[in-house]
Structure formats: C-alpha cells, structure tokens
C-alpha cells in the first residue's frame, strides 16, 4: 500500500464517501487507495443469538442457541475472574436451533457459589458470550 511513499510513518487515515482511504505520512506525503467495504458470505458468523434463561437463575440455567452451519460447537462457563468452571457442550452439531442446560456445578461436580458468571459459545469461526447471575 505504501509503495512510492517517502516515509511509511502514517499520521493520518481518512475515508471519504466515494470509498477511498486516504493516508497521510509524517513527511507530508499522501496516498489514496480505493476500496469497497463489504461482508462476504464466507465471513458471516456461524452463531445466532444466545439466550440464557432464567437470569438470574437459582439451580439450572437453560442455554438456547443456534448455528447456521453444521460443525464443532463448544459452550463453556467462566466465573467473574475468567476461570473455566465447566464445559457444557463440546461436540459436532447440525445446523439449527439447540438447547442445553448447566446445573450450577463445576468440572468436579461441586456446586458453585452465588455470583456473576459468563457463557462463551464457540464454533470454528465465531465466538459469542453471555452474562448471567447464579443465586443460591
């Protein structure tokens, strides 16, 4: 992109409505680069909305989610400190709507305390997160 510029130290970037990126350098050089911002079909996310109910929950959290393409799905629970508490789903799944639940226990089967927790759902190409409160 910076071929022919006297310096590659960019001090200004701007985009105009005609889809040009303008770069200004420290040496007062300017470069104009045409581009067409768009989202390709391949870059769209695989995950649909993630629903966590009830929230807050007392014993069981219902997790409803959908995936647009068949593939590997992993759903993990983390505490507010970012520590992995449990893995709820870790398998290949068909495209469509799915539902699972978390019973409020860690990887060793111990009840976890009241607190704020996070759900992370992942496919091969997307990550989605949700937040919920567990009340004992």
pLDDT higher than threshold 70 for residue 72:
yes
pLDDT higher than threshold 60 for residue 70:
yes
Measured between alpha carbons, how far is residue 105 from residues 17, 29, 41, 86 in Å? 53, 60, 39, 7
Query: Which one has a higher pLDDT value, 123 or 87?
Result: 87
Contacts (Cβ under 8 Å, ≥6 apart) of 81:
none
Q: Start-end ranges of CATH 2.60.40.4070 in the chain? A: 45-134
Which of 2.40.30.10, 2.60.40.4070, 3.40.50.1360, 1.10.1840.10 would CATH assign to domain 45-134? 2.60.40.4070
- Confidence at 22, pLDDT banded by 50, 70, 90: confident
Instruction: Decide: 120 and 131 in contact? Cβ < 8 Å.
Output: no
- Confidence at 124, pLDDT banded by 50, 70, 90: confident
pTM above 0.75, yes or no: no
Q: What are phi and psi of 91, to 5 degrees?
A: -165, 165
Using one digit for the tens of pLDDT, what is the confidence trace for 89-118?
Answer: 999 999 999 999 999 999 999 999 999 999
Query: What average pLDDT does range 67-93 have in this prediction?
Result: 94
């Amino acid at each position: 992109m910076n071929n022919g510029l006297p310096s590659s130290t960019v001090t200004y970037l701007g985009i105009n409505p005609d889809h040009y990126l303008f770069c200004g350098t420290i040496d007062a050089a300017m470069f104009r680069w045409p581009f067409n911002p768009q989202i390709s079909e391949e870059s769209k996310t695989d995950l649909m909305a993630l629903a966590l109910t009830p929230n807050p929950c007392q014993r069981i959290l219902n997790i409803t989610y959908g995936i647009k393409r068949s593939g590997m799905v992993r759903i993990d629970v983390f505490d507010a400190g970012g520590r992995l508490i449990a893995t709820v789903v870790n398998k290949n799944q068909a495209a469509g709507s799915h539902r699972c639940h978390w019973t409020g226990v860690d990887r060793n089967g111990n009840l976890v305390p009241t607190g704020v927790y996070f759900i992370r759902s992942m496919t091969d190409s997307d990550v989605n997160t949700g937040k919920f409160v567990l009340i004992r």
